[in-house]
Amino acid sequence: MTTKQGKGKVCLAYSGGLDTSCILAWLLEEGYEVVAYMANIGQEEDFEAARVKALKIGATKVFIEDLRKEFVEGVVFSAVQANALYEGVYLLGTSLARPVITKTQIRIANQEGCDFVSHGCTGKGNDQVRFELGYYAIDPSIKVIAPWRIPEFFERFPGRPALLAYAAEKGIPVFQTAAKPWSTDENLYHISYEAGILEDPNVTPPKDMWKLIADPEDAPNTPERISIHFENGKPVKVVNKGDGKSIADGLDLFLYLNHLGRKHGVGRIDIVENRFIGIKSRGCYETPGGTILRAAHVDLEGLTLDREVRRLRDQFAQRLSEIIYNGFWFSPEREFIMAAVEQSQQTVAGTVHLKLYKGNVIIEGRESAISLYDDKIASMDIAGGFNPGDSDGFIKINSIRLKAYVAQKKKVTGSGF
Protein backbone atom coordinates (compact mmCIF):
# COMPACT_ATOMS: atom_id res chain seq x y z
CA MET A 1 0.00 0.00 0.00
CA THR A 2 1.41 3.40 -0.99
CA THR A 3 1.64 5.84 1.93
CA LYS A 4 2.98 9.24 2.84
CA GLN A 5 5.76 9.19 5.40
CA GLY A 6 6.80 10.48 8.78
CA LYS A 7 3.78 11.76 10.69
CA GLY A 8 4.39 9.66 13.78
CA LYS A 9 3.24 6.49 15.47
CA VAL A 10 -0.38 5.70 16.35
CA CYS A 11 -1.92 3.10 18.65
CA LEU A 12 -5.31 2.36 17.08
CA ALA A 13 -8.15 0.73 19.01
CA TYR A 14 -8.91 -1.90 16.38
CA SER A 15 -11.99 -4.10 16.25
CA GLY A 16 -11.39 -5.93 12.98
CA GLY A 17 -14.64 -4.49 11.64
CA LEU A 18 -15.50 -2.11 8.84
CA ASP A 19 -14.76 1.26 10.43
CA THR A 20 -11.44 0.54 12.11
CA SER A 21 -10.14 -1.51 9.18
CA CYS A 22 -10.77 1.44 6.89
CA ILE A 23 -9.29 3.83 9.46
CA LEU A 24 -6.17 1.70 9.66
CA ALA A 25 -5.75 1.86 5.88
CA TRP A 26 -6.44 5.61 5.87
CA LEU A 27 -3.92 6.34 8.64
CA LEU A 28 -1.29 4.50 6.65
CA GLU A 29 -2.17 6.53 3.56
CA GLU A 30 -1.77 9.67 5.64
CA GLY A 31 1.76 8.69 6.61
CA TYR A 32 1.37 7.30 10.12
CA GLU A 33 2.91 4.12 11.47
CA VAL A 34 0.13 2.16 13.12
CA VAL A 35 0.17 -0.28 16.01
CA ALA A 36 -3.19 -2.08 16.24
CA TYR A 37 -4.63 -2.93 19.63
CA MET A 38 -7.53 -5.31 20.20
CA ALA A 39 -9.22 -5.74 23.56
CA ASN A 40 -10.71 -9.16 24.18
CA ILE A 41 -13.67 -8.22 26.36
CA GLY A 42 -15.69 -11.27 25.42
CA GLN A 43 -16.89 -10.42 21.92
CA GLU A 44 -17.33 -13.42 19.65
CA GLU A 45 -14.43 -12.59 17.38
CA ASP A 46 -11.82 -14.57 15.49
CA PHE A 47 -8.90 -12.69 17.00
CA GLU A 48 -6.28 -14.51 14.98
CA ALA A 49 -8.08 -13.68 11.74
CA ALA A 50 -8.32 -10.05 12.87
CA ARG A 51 -4.60 -10.04 13.64
CA VAL A 52 -3.81 -11.34 10.17
CA LYS A 53 -6.14 -8.75 8.63
CA ALA A 54 -4.52 -5.86 10.50
CA LEU A 55 -1.02 -6.98 9.53
CA LYS A 56 -2.12 -7.43 5.92
CA ILE A 57 -3.54 -3.91 5.83
CA GLY A 58 -0.22 -2.62 7.12
CA ALA A 59 -0.08 -2.48 10.94
CA THR A 60 3.47 -2.93 12.21
CA LYS A 61 2.31 -4.77 15.33
CA VAL A 62 -0.96 -6.15 16.67
CA PHE A 63 -1.61 -6.49 20.39
CA ILE A 64 -4.52 -8.67 21.56
CA GLU A 65 -5.18 -8.30 25.28
CA ASP A 66 -7.49 -10.62 27.23
CA LEU A 67 -9.36 -8.22 29.54
CA ARG A 68 -12.40 -10.36 30.24
CA LYS A 69 -11.73 -11.10 33.90
CA GLU A 70 -10.82 -7.49 34.64
CA PHE A 71 -13.94 -6.34 32.84
CA VAL A 72 -16.30 -8.67 34.70
CA GLU A 73 -14.86 -8.59 38.20
CA GLY A 74 -13.62 -4.99 38.18
CA VAL A 75 -16.40 -3.20 36.30
CA VAL A 76 -19.51 -5.30 35.62
CA PHE A 77 -19.87 -6.54 39.20
CA SER A 78 -19.52 -2.95 40.46
CA ALA A 79 -22.42 -1.97 38.19
CA VAL A 80 -24.42 -4.87 39.64
CA GLN A 81 -23.76 -3.57 43.17
CA ALA A 82 -25.13 -0.17 42.13
CA ASN A 83 -28.08 -1.52 40.11
CA ALA A 84 -26.81 0.82 37.40
CA LEU A 85 -29.47 1.38 34.75
CA TYR A 86 -29.45 4.33 32.35
CA GLU A 87 -32.85 5.97 31.82
CA GLY A 88 -34.48 3.08 33.65
CA VAL A 89 -33.81 0.50 30.93
CA TYR A 90 -30.24 0.34 29.54
CA LEU A 91 -27.68 -1.78 31.41
CA LEU A 92 -24.72 0.25 30.09
CA GLY A 93 -22.94 -2.60 28.32
CA THR A 94 -20.99 -0.41 25.89
CA SER A 95 -20.24 2.31 28.45
CA LEU A 96 -18.85 -0.12 31.03
CA ALA A 97 -16.36 -1.64 28.61
CA ARG A 98 -14.69 1.63 27.63
CA PRO A 99 -12.65 2.27 30.81
CA VAL A 100 -11.01 -1.17 30.57
CA ILE A 101 -10.23 -0.69 26.87
CA THR A 102 -8.83 2.82 27.15
CA LYS A 103 -6.65 2.06 30.17
CA THR A 104 -4.90 -0.78 28.38
CA GLN A 105 -4.66 1.18 25.13
CA ILE A 106 -2.76 3.97 26.87
CA ARG A 107 -0.44 1.44 28.49
CA ILE A 108 0.41 -0.08 25.10
CA ALA A 109 0.76 3.34 23.48
CA ASN A 110 3.28 4.38 26.12
CA GLN A 111 5.05 1.02 25.94
CA GLU A 112 5.45 1.29 22.16
CA GLY A 113 6.44 4.95 22.13
CA CYS A 114 3.34 6.09 20.23
CA ASP A 115 2.75 9.77 19.62
CA PHE A 116 -1.02 9.32 19.20
CA VAL A 117 -3.95 7.10 20.05
CA SER A 118 -6.91 6.68 17.72
CA HIS A 119 -10.35 5.11 17.67
CA GLY A 120 -13.22 4.47 15.28
CA CYS A 121 -15.98 6.32 17.12
CA THR A 122 -18.29 8.52 15.09
CA GLY A 123 -18.52 12.25 15.59
CA LYS A 124 -22.19 11.98 16.58
CA GLY A 125 -21.97 9.27 19.21
CA ASN A 126 -21.22 8.83 22.89
CA ASP A 127 -18.18 6.61 22.46
CA GLN A 128 -15.91 9.38 21.21
CA VAL A 129 -16.47 11.10 24.56
CA ARG A 130 -15.95 7.93 26.58
CA PHE A 131 -12.73 6.98 24.83
CA GLU A 132 -11.16 10.41 24.87
CA LEU A 133 -12.10 11.36 28.44
CA GLY A 134 -10.48 8.07 29.43
CA TYR A 135 -7.36 8.82 27.39
CA TYR A 136 -6.89 12.27 28.88
CA ALA A 137 -7.61 11.13 32.44
CA ILE A 138 -5.01 8.35 32.25
CA ASP A 139 -2.39 10.27 30.24
CA PRO A 140 -3.05 14.03 30.06
CA SER A 141 -0.25 14.50 27.52
CA ILE A 142 -1.57 12.04 24.93
CA LYS A 143 -2.66 13.26 21.49
CA VAL A 144 -5.78 11.86 19.85
CA ILE A 145 -6.63 11.23 16.21
CA ALA A 146 -10.40 11.01 15.78
CA PRO A 147 -10.93 10.37 12.04
CA TRP A 148 -14.70 10.80 12.15
CA ARG A 149 -14.15 14.42 13.21
CA ILE A 150 -11.50 15.16 10.57
CA PRO A 151 -12.99 16.73 7.40
CA GLU A 152 -10.55 14.94 5.10
CA PHE A 153 -11.91 11.66 6.42
CA PHE A 154 -15.62 12.25 6.97
CA GLU A 155 -16.04 14.12 3.68
CA ARG A 156 -14.40 11.26 1.84
CA PHE A 157 -16.49 8.70 3.70
CA PRO A 158 -19.90 10.34 4.29
CA GLY A 159 -21.52 7.05 5.26
CA ARG A 160 -21.20 3.30 5.49
CA PRO A 161 -21.72 2.69 1.76
CA ALA A 162 -18.56 4.71 1.08
CA LEU A 163 -16.65 2.68 3.67
CA LEU A 164 -17.86 -0.56 2.14
CA ALA A 165 -16.71 0.63 -1.28
CA TYR A 166 -13.31 1.67 0.13
CA ALA A 167 -12.90 -1.70 1.84
CA ALA A 168 -13.71 -3.48 -1.42
CA GLU A 169 -11.19 -1.28 -3.24
CA LYS A 170 -8.48 -2.10 -0.72
CA GLY A 171 -9.35 -5.80 -0.56
CA ILE A 172 -10.32 -5.57 3.10
CA PRO A 173 -12.83 -8.29 4.08
CA VAL A 174 -15.62 -7.09 6.37
CA PHE A 175 -18.52 -8.84 8.10
CA GLN A 176 -20.99 -6.03 7.45
CA THR A 177 -22.63 -6.00 4.04
CA ALA A 178 -24.91 -3.60 2.21
CA ALA A 179 -27.74 -6.07 2.83
CA LYS A 180 -27.26 -5.88 6.62
CA PRO A 181 -26.19 -2.30 7.24
CA TRP A 182 -26.61 -2.08 11.00
CA SER A 183 -23.60 -1.58 13.21
CA THR A 184 -22.80 -3.74 16.23
CA ASP A 185 -20.65 -3.45 19.33
CA GLU A 186 -20.16 -6.62 21.33
CA ASN A 187 -18.55 -7.57 24.61
CA LEU A 188 -19.03 -10.11 27.36
CA TYR A 189 -21.82 -8.06 28.91
CA HIS A 190 -23.92 -7.35 25.83
CA ILE A 191 -24.19 -6.65 22.12
CA SER A 192 -25.67 -3.45 20.69
CA TYR A 193 -27.19 -2.77 17.29
CA GLU A 194 -27.66 0.66 15.71
CA ALA A 195 -27.64 2.61 12.43
CA GLY A 196 -28.91 1.54 9.03
CA ILE A 197 -32.57 0.50 9.03
CA LEU A 198 -32.64 0.89 12.82
CA GLU A 199 -32.44 4.66 12.46
CA ASP A 200 -36.17 4.58 11.83
CA PRO A 201 -37.48 4.02 15.37
CA ASN A 202 -40.69 2.49 14.03
CA VAL A 203 -38.99 -0.28 12.04
CA THR A 204 -39.16 -3.65 13.75
CA PRO A 205 -35.71 -5.28 13.77
CA PRO A 206 -35.56 -8.33 11.51
CA LYS A 207 -35.47 -11.60 13.41
CA ASP A 208 -32.07 -12.54 11.99
CA MET A 209 -30.47 -9.38 13.40
CA TRP A 210 -30.49 -10.69 16.95
CA LYS A 211 -27.24 -12.58 17.36
CA LEU A 212 -27.02 -13.74 20.96
CA ILE A 213 -30.36 -14.44 22.56
CA ALA A 214 -32.99 -16.93 21.45
CA ASP A 215 -36.31 -15.43 20.49
CA PRO A 216 -38.46 -15.91 23.61
CA GLU A 217 -41.08 -17.57 21.40
CA ASP A 218 -38.49 -20.16 20.40
CA ALA A 219 -36.96 -20.63 23.85
CA PRO A 220 -37.36 -23.99 25.63
CA ASN A 221 -40.79 -24.90 26.92
CA THR A 222 -39.19 -26.23 30.11
CA PRO A 223 -37.99 -23.61 32.61
CA GLU A 224 -34.55 -23.74 34.20
CA ARG A 225 -34.05 -23.05 37.90
CA ILE A 226 -30.88 -21.63 39.40
CA SER A 227 -29.61 -20.10 42.65
CA ILE A 228 -27.26 -17.12 42.75
CA HIS A 229 -25.21 -16.53 45.91
CA PHE A 230 -24.04 -13.02 46.78
CA GLU A 231 -21.49 -11.53 49.16
CA ASN A 232 -21.05 -7.76 49.52
CA GLY A 233 -23.52 -7.32 46.69
CA LYS A 234 -21.42 -9.28 44.21
CA PRO A 235 -22.20 -12.77 42.86
CA VAL A 236 -19.91 -15.46 44.23
CA LYS A 237 -21.60 -18.67 43.10
CA VAL A 238 -24.27 -19.96 40.72
CA VAL A 239 -25.91 -23.35 41.20
CA ASN A 240 -28.12 -25.04 38.61
CA LYS A 241 -30.88 -26.82 40.52
CA GLY A 242 -31.53 -29.21 37.67
CA ASP A 243 -28.13 -30.75 37.05
CA GLY A 244 -26.34 -29.60 40.20
CA LYS A 245 -23.69 -27.63 38.32
CA SER A 246 -21.94 -25.13 40.59
CA ILE A 247 -19.63 -22.32 39.45
CA ALA A 248 -17.74 -19.91 41.72
CA ASP A 249 -15.07 -18.24 39.55
CA GLY A 250 -16.24 -14.72 38.64
CA LEU A 251 -15.59 -14.92 34.92
CA ASP A 252 -16.87 -18.48 34.55
CA LEU A 253 -19.95 -17.63 36.59
CA PHE A 254 -20.80 -14.74 34.30
CA LEU A 255 -20.17 -16.80 31.16
CA TYR A 256 -22.54 -19.44 32.50
CA LEU A 257 -25.28 -16.89 33.21
CA ASN A 258 -24.82 -15.57 29.68
CA HIS A 259 -25.28 -19.10 28.37
CA LEU A 260 -28.49 -19.62 30.34
CA GLY A 261 -29.88 -16.21 29.47
CA ARG A 262 -29.24 -16.72 25.77
CA LYS A 263 -30.85 -20.14 25.88
CA HIS A 264 -34.02 -18.88 27.56
CA GLY A 265 -34.49 -15.63 25.65
CA VAL A 266 -33.59 -13.31 28.53
CA GLY A 267 -32.27 -9.78 28.05
CA ARG A 268 -33.46 -8.21 24.76
CA ILE A 269 -34.48 -4.55 24.65
CA ASP A 270 -35.23 -2.04 21.89
CA ILE A 271 -35.12 1.61 23.03
CA VAL A 272 -34.66 5.24 22.08
CA GLU A 273 -32.12 6.85 24.41
CA ASN A 274 -30.65 10.29 24.97
CA ARG A 275 -27.02 10.56 23.95
CA PHE A 276 -24.73 12.78 26.01
CA ILE A 277 -24.16 15.14 23.08
CA GLY A 278 -27.88 15.88 22.82
CA ILE A 279 -29.04 13.54 20.07
CA LYS A 280 -31.71 10.89 20.52
CA SER A 281 -30.59 7.48 19.33
CA ARG A 282 -32.36 4.19 18.71
CA GLY A 283 -30.49 1.16 20.00
CA CYS A 284 -31.23 -2.54 20.36
CA TYR A 285 -29.41 -4.50 23.03
CA GLU A 286 -28.95 -8.08 24.21
CA THR A 287 -27.72 -8.43 27.81
CA PRO A 288 -28.46 -11.97 29.02
CA GLY A 289 -26.28 -12.53 32.09
CA GLY A 290 -26.51 -8.92 33.22
CA THR A 291 -30.30 -9.00 33.16
CA ILE A 292 -30.37 -12.11 35.35
CA LEU A 293 -27.85 -10.71 37.82
CA ARG A 294 -29.61 -7.39 38.20
CA ALA A 295 -32.96 -9.05 38.90
CA ALA A 296 -31.41 -11.26 41.57
CA HIS A 297 -29.44 -8.46 43.18
CA VAL A 298 -32.39 -6.07 43.35
CA ASP A 299 -34.47 -8.78 45.00
CA LEU A 300 -31.83 -9.67 47.61
CA GLU A 301 -31.52 -6.01 48.60
CA GLY A 302 -35.21 -6.05 49.55
CA LEU A 303 -34.35 -8.66 52.17
CA THR A 304 -31.05 -7.33 53.49
CA LEU A 305 -30.68 -3.60 52.84
CA ASP A 306 -31.94 -0.92 55.22
CA ARG A 307 -34.79 1.13 53.74
CA GLU A 308 -33.16 4.55 54.02
CA VAL A 309 -29.78 3.31 52.82
CA ARG A 310 -31.50 1.74 49.82
CA ARG A 311 -33.29 4.97 48.99
CA LEU A 312 -30.05 6.93 49.08
CA ARG A 313 -28.22 4.28 47.06
CA ASP A 314 -31.01 4.35 44.46
CA GLN A 315 -30.59 8.11 44.12
CA PHE A 316 -26.86 7.62 43.69
CA ALA A 317 -27.46 4.81 41.19
CA GLN A 318 -29.37 7.04 38.83
CA ARG A 319 -26.63 9.66 38.87
CA LEU A 320 -23.92 6.99 38.63
CA SER A 321 -25.59 5.54 35.52
CA GLU A 322 -25.47 8.96 33.87
CA ILE A 323 -21.83 9.43 34.88
CA ILE A 324 -20.86 6.07 33.37
CA TYR A 325 -22.97 6.56 30.24
CA ASN A 326 -21.46 9.99 29.63
CA GLY A 327 -17.90 8.71 29.90
CA PHE A 328 -16.80 9.97 33.31
CA TRP A 329 -15.59 6.68 34.77
CA PHE A 330 -12.22 8.22 35.65
CA SER A 331 -13.78 11.04 37.67
CA PRO A 332 -13.95 12.06 41.34
CA GLU A 333 -17.74 11.87 41.34
CA ARG A 334 -17.72 8.27 40.14
CA GLU A 335 -15.17 7.30 42.80
CA PHE A 336 -17.18 9.10 45.48
CA ILE A 337 -20.47 7.42 44.57
CA MET A 338 -18.91 3.96 44.20
CA ALA A 339 -17.32 4.27 47.64
CA ALA A 340 -20.78 4.90 49.08
CA VAL A 341 -22.30 2.07 47.04
CA GLU A 342 -19.67 -0.39 48.22
CA GLN A 343 -20.29 0.57 51.84
CA SER A 344 -24.02 0.00 51.33
CA GLN A 345 -23.39 -3.49 50.00
CA GLN A 346 -21.70 -4.88 53.11
CA THR A 347 -24.97 -6.49 54.21
CA VAL A 348 -26.13 -7.66 50.78
CA ALA A 349 -25.32 -11.32 51.28
CA GLY A 350 -27.48 -14.35 50.68
CA THR A 351 -29.03 -16.51 47.98
CA VAL A 352 -31.74 -15.80 45.42
CA HIS A 353 -33.63 -18.61 43.70
CA LEU A 354 -34.77 -17.92 40.14
CA LYS A 355 -36.64 -19.47 37.25
CA LEU A 356 -35.68 -18.66 33.65
CA TYR A 357 -38.51 -19.10 31.20
CA LYS A 358 -39.20 -17.66 27.74
CA GLY A 359 -37.61 -14.25 28.24
CA ASN A 360 -38.55 -13.92 31.90
CA VAL A 361 -36.47 -13.92 35.07
CA ILE A 362 -38.86 -15.04 37.79
CA ILE A 363 -37.86 -14.81 41.46
CA GLU A 364 -38.98 -17.89 43.41
CA GLY A 365 -37.40 -17.19 46.79
CA ARG A 366 -34.55 -15.63 48.70
CA GLU A 367 -32.67 -16.27 51.94
CA SER A 368 -29.94 -14.61 54.00
CA ALA A 369 -28.26 -15.27 57.32
CA ILE A 370 -28.25 -11.51 57.96
CA SER A 371 -31.75 -10.74 56.72
CA LEU A 372 -33.61 -7.71 58.09
CA TYR A 373 -36.91 -9.52 57.54
CA ASP A 374 -38.66 -10.65 60.75
CA ASP A 375 -41.45 -13.08 59.99
CA LYS A 376 -42.95 -12.66 63.46
CA ILE A 377 -43.28 -8.87 63.15
CA ALA A 378 -44.43 -9.13 59.52
CA SER A 379 -47.07 -11.80 60.26
CA MET A 380 -50.74 -10.86 60.13
CA ASP A 381 -51.54 -13.83 62.39
CA ILE A 382 -49.42 -13.06 65.47
CA ALA A 383 -48.40 -9.86 67.24
CA GLY A 384 -44.72 -10.79 67.27
CA GLY A 385 -43.75 -8.01 69.67
CA PHE A 386 -45.50 -5.32 67.62
CA ASN A 387 -48.28 -3.41 69.39
CA PRO A 388 -50.96 -2.49 66.82
CA GLY A 389 -52.01 0.38 69.06
CA ASP A 390 -48.72 2.13 68.29
CA SER A 391 -49.94 2.65 64.72
CA ASP A 392 -52.61 5.06 65.99
CA GLY A 393 -50.06 7.65 67.08
CA PHE A 394 -47.94 7.04 63.98
CA ILE A 395 -50.90 7.83 61.71
CA LYS A 396 -51.94 10.92 63.68
CA ILE A 397 -48.43 12.38 63.65
CA ASN A 398 -48.15 11.85 59.89
CA SER A 399 -51.56 13.47 59.35
CA ILE A 400 -50.51 16.80 60.92
CA ARG A 401 -48.73 17.95 57.77
CA LEU A 402 -51.64 16.93 55.54
CA LYS A 403 -54.22 18.73 57.72
CA ALA A 404 -52.11 21.92 57.60
CA TYR A 405 -51.85 21.67 53.81
CA VAL A 406 -55.61 21.25 53.36
CA ALA A 407 -56.24 24.30 55.56
CA GLN A 408 -53.83 26.32 53.43
CA LYS A 409 -55.36 24.98 50.21
CA LYS A 410 -58.84 26.10 51.29
CA LYS A 411 -57.56 29.64 51.90
CA VAL A 412 -55.93 29.77 48.47
CA THR A 413 -58.49 27.99 46.28
CA GLY A 414 -61.61 28.02 48.40
CA SER A 415 -61.78 24.23 48.65
CA GLY A 416 -59.83 21.19 49.68
CA PHE A 417 -59.47 18.00 47.68
Helix 127-138, helix 93-111: angle, nearest 10: 40
| Cα 41 from Cα 254, distance rounded (Å) | 13
Render pLDDT for 93-116 as a digit per residue (tens, 0 to 9).
Answer: 999 999 999 999 999 999 999 999
Give catalytic status of residue 208 as yes or no: no
Mean local confidence (pLDDT), 127-156 = 97
The pLDDT, as a whole number, for residue 196 is 86
Mean residue pLDDT of the chain comes to 93
Catalytic residue among 15, 19, 192, 344: 19
Residue 10 in contact with residue 115, Cβ under 8 Å? yes
pLDDT of residue 383: 60
DSSP bridge pairs for 107: none
Kindly indicate the confidence band of residue 378, based on its pLDDT and cuts at 50, 70 and 90.
low
Please report the sign of the dihedral spanned by the C-alpha atoms of residue 25, residue 30, residue 32, residue 38: negative
Active-site residue among 183, 331, 368, 371? 183
pLDDT at residue 209 tops 90: yes
Measured in degrees and rounded to the nearest 5, phi and psi for residue 384 equal 60, 30
At residue 4, the pLDDT reads: 54
Mean pLDDT value across residues 7-19? 94
Residue 1 predicted with pLDDT over 80: no
Q: If you average pLDDT over residues 71-79, what whole number do you get?
A: 98
Reported as a pLDDT band with limits 50, 70 and 90, residue 198 is: very high
d(CA 100, CA 39): 9
∠ CA 39-81-44, rounded to 5°: 25
Minimum mean pLDDT range among 143-152, 215-224, 352-361, 402-411: 402-411
Express the helix, strand and coil content of the chain in percent, nearest 5 each: 45, 20, 35
Q: Which of 21, 127, 262, 281 is catalytic?
A: 127
pLDDT recorded at residue 228: 98
Among residues 173, 170, 163, which one has the least CA distance to residue 196?
Answer: 163
Residue 127 falls in the annotated catalytic set? yes
Q: Is the pLDDT of residue 381 over 70?
A: no
The residues near 399 (Cβ < 8 Å, ≥ 6 apart) are none
Share of the chain above pLDDT 90, in %: 83
| Cβ–Cβ under 8 Å, residues 282 and 346 | no
Q: Would you state the pLDDT for residue 60?
A: 98
Strand order in the sheet with 234-240: 246-247, 234-240, 224-231, 350-357, 360-367
Q: Are 351 and 371 in contact (CB under 8 A)?
A: no
Mean pLDDT of 270-295: 95
pLDDT band, residue 387 (cuts 50/70/90): confident
Is the pLDDT at 135 greater than 60, yes or no?
yes
Per-residue pLDDT at 157 exceeds 90: yes
- How many C-beta atoms lie closer than 10 Å to residue 18's C-beta? 22
pLDDT at 389: 86
Name which residue leads in pLDDT, 35 or 126.
35
Instruction: Determine whether 98 is an active site residue.
Output: yes
Can 19 be counted among the known catalytic residues? yes
For residue 2, pLDDT beyond 50:
no
User: Can you tell me the distance from the alpha carbon of 292 to that of 228, in angstroms, rounded to the nearest whole number?
Assistant: 9
Q: Of the residues 51, 98, 268, 313, which is catalytic? A: 98
